[in-house]
Amino acid sequence: MARHRPAAEGGYQRGEETRARIIEAALELFGTHGFEGASTRDIARQAGVNAPALQYYFDNKEGVYLACIQFIVDRVWARLDPSVSMAEAVLAQADARDEALMDAYLAIQAVFVSFAADCGDTTPWRQFLARERAGLGPPAAFEVFDRGLNQRLFGVTSSLIGRLTGRPATDEITRIRTIAIDGQGAAFPTKKRNVLRAMGWESIGADEAARIERVILEQTRLLLRALVVERDAGR
């Protein structure tokens, strides 16, 4: 993992600002040109620093890339943590009602749907993530993303689905269902161009995102209630 240290001559705040500029520049260039196409020289130039400064903070290009992954994980968790923590608290209650479990799941799903809204400061990392999802980054990047985000998140959503369907969270059917249901919330942010073309929209603003959220959450609640009925029928 890349080192995290301030510039010795400028103090901690200046070092953090320099590091942030490098990550911002790297996200844009990796998103536009990919891991192979973006050079450390170009990243340093766009960040307004010299090449040795980039090496000082991140060692090499892979270190910069992994720092970009960690930046995105931190940003996503800042949005997700309240709903995930709430869901974990609900799961800790052995007698939690089905509606409470559904509400906990839908609160997490709503966060993912909210990422569909156009937001200028996230555009570079949307492009970056599209390439990463396609497997175009270094292998170590997946591990950072998986440990930093996916493992805890999937553990919570699969546990919620498992409780609602009467199956263990580790059951194969539970995992398949969880991946499928989780995907409903993630589809709109990750397939934005397809969505815009299909809907005939110019962009996804607050109003469009609200309509998407309403439909997705209503649909998911109906599905979860149907699964509860199936569970109670003993099927």
pTM (whole model) above 0.95: no
How many angstroms from the chain centroid is the CA of residue 66? Answer: 15
Note the pLDDT of residue 157.
Answer: 98
pLDDT at 12: 52
Backbone angles phi, psi at 136, to 5 degrees: -95, 5
**Each residue's pLDDT expressed in tens, for the chain with a length of 235 residues:** 455 555 455 555 677 899 999 999 999 999 899 999 999 999 999 999 998 888 899 999 999 999 999 999 998 899 999 999 999 999 999 999 999 999 999 999 999 888 877 655 556 777 888 888 878 889 999 999 899 999 999 999 999 999 999 999 999 999 999 999 998 877 787 777 788 899 999 888 888 989 999 999 999 999 999 999 999 998 6
Compute how many other C-beta atoms are within 10 angstroms of the C-beta atom of residue 212. 21
Single-letter amino acid, residue 55: Q
Q: What is the pLDDT of residue 216?
A: 94
CATH superfamily of 11-61: Homeodomain-like (1.10.10.60)
CATH of 69-232, one of 3.40.390.10, 3.40.50.920, 3.40.1800.10, 1.10.357.10: 1.10.357.10
CB neighbourhood size of 211 (10 A): 12
pLDDT score, position 7? 47
Could you give the CA distance from residue 199 to residue 177 in angstroms, rounded to a whole number? 27
What DSSP string describes 84-135? HHHHHHHHT-TT--HHHHHHHHHHHHHHHHHTTS--GGGHHHHHHHHHHHTT
Parse the chain into domains and list their residue ranges.
11-61, 69-232
Please tell me if the domain spanning 11-61 has the same topology as the one spanning 69-232. Answer: no
Residues forming beta bridges with residue 11, ordered by sequence position? 7
What is the chain's Cα-based Rg? 20
Give residue 116's pLDDT: 73
Q: Give phi and psi for 8, each to the nearest 5.
A: -60, -35
CB-CB neighbours of 88 under 10 Å? 15
Residue-level pLDDT at 11: 54
pLDDT at 61: 94
